[in-house]
């Protein structure tokens, strides 16, 4: 839940203590009359002799009662009788309306299509063991979020291009998700034949020029692949707990550049930074995709927006490993918040 009123009181607590302490009994009486505190709480607060301590304890009580009670308290402070007694409140920033960011409308069932391209077997490159675990988890989570999941496996570069081009002409819904799990090179993502598909070729079929049905709607791309062969350098930081032992892992190889598209409503999340390795455990799947799915399961029911969830993913993945490190990145051309609630939630 958004805690904007709670945060506003916390932020301006010093100002409120200074202002309301001028007549602590007056504000306490009105808070009680508005049923923001109980009779017992009112009597206990009233018995406090020091005016400033009385207000401090009152504010702490209100903050502890949650967002709705904090909103009601700020509404109370706007009343004329309160402003007359505490003129310093007039036009103070505590009454400023927070920046309102609209949300994408996600109402249809299914929400849209989640296409997963999972290249595991290649003609000239190593098998991507563990990628099937990523595919299963992605399919499970996005079905739970109300998407129609379509899986394509071991596609050549030409097949990938045709698949995405055809999908751009037929796709519909309130949102579109594309997950690409593959090897890659400097120029882009590899097909099962070793051919390369650029990131522009992946996203372009879904821009407003070619896909009118998704114009103005969120389009999410999650790409699990390395972007080179360099290892992330470690830096020492204070830790709250020791890290787990390193598990055996494999790496994918690719290095490609993604730019924010000219069209709006795109979010492209990548498993690692430019030039660096991305890790995948043969028995468990990749760090990035597994963390993404866990965080979607945890935070989507709470109404957390996708960009905030991705911050949690980045924090989690960057904490993985001992000798090897990884830092996911995401590039955003979104105009609104995207909140995906599970169906029947």
Beta bridge partners of 269: 222, 330
- DSSP tag of 206: G
Which DSSP string corresponds to 31-70?
Answer: HHHTTSS-HHHHHHHHT--SHHHHHHHHHHHHHHT-HHHH
Nearest 5°: CA angle at 144, between 147 and 192? 60
Q: How many residues does the chain have?
A: 345
DSSP reduced 3-state for 298? helix
**Cα distance between residue 257 and residue 246, in whole Å:** 29
User: What are the residue numbers of the active site?
Assistant: 183, 226
| Best CA proximity match to 207, nearest among 138, 260, 140 | 260
Contact 306, 340 (CB under 8 A): yes
Q: H/E element holding 185?
A: strand 184-185
**Cα distance between residue 66 and residue 72, in whole Å:** 10
Contact 177, 141 (CB under 8 A): no
**Cα distance between residue 176 and residue 174, in whole Å:** 7
Distances (CA, A) of 294 to 134, 284, 316, 317, 318: 11, 13, 10, 12, 15
């Amino acid at each position: 839940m958004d805690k904007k009123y709670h945060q506003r009181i916390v932020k301006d607590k010093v100002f409120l203590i200074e202002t309301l302490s001028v007549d602590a009994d007056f504000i306490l009486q009105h808070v009680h009359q508005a049923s923001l505190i109980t009779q017992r709480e009112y009597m206990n607060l009233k018995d406090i002799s020091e005016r400033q301590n009385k207000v401090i304890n009152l504010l702490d009580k209100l903050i502890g009662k949650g967002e709705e009670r904090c909103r009601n308290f700020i509404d109370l402070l706007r009343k004329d009788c309160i402003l007359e007694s505490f003129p310093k409140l007039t036009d103070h920033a505590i009454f400023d309306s927070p920046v309102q960011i609209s949300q994408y409308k996600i109402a249809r069932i299914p929400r849209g299509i989640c296409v997963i391209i999972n290249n595991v077997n290649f003609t000239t490159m190593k098998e991507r063991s563990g990628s099937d675990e990523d595919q299963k988890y992605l399919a499970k989570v996005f079905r739970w979020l109300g998407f129609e999941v379509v899986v394509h496996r071991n596609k050549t570069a030409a097949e990938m291009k045709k698949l995405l081009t055809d999908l751009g002409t037929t796709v519909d819904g309130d949102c579109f998700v594309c997950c690409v799990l593959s090897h890659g090179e400097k120029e882009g993502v590899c097909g099962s034949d070793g051919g390369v598909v650029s990131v522009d070729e992946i996203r372009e079929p879904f821009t407003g020029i070619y896909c009118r049905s998704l114009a103005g709607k969120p389009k999410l791309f999650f790409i699990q692949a390395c972007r080179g062969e360099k290892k992330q350098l470690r830096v020492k930081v204070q830790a709250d707990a020791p890290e787990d032992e390193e598990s055996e892992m494999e790496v994918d190889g690719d290095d490609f550049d993604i730019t924010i598209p000219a069209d709006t409503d795109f979010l492209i999340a990548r498993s690692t930074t430019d030039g660096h390795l991305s890790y995948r455990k043969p028995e468990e799947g990749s760090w990035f995709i597994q963390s993404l799915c866990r965080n979607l399961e945890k935070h989507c029911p709470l109404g957390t927006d996708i960009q905030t969830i991705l911050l949690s993913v980045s924090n989690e993945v960057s904490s993985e490993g001992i000798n090897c490190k990884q830092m996911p990145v995401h590039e955003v051309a979104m105009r609104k918040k995207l909140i995906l609630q599970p169906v029947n939630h």
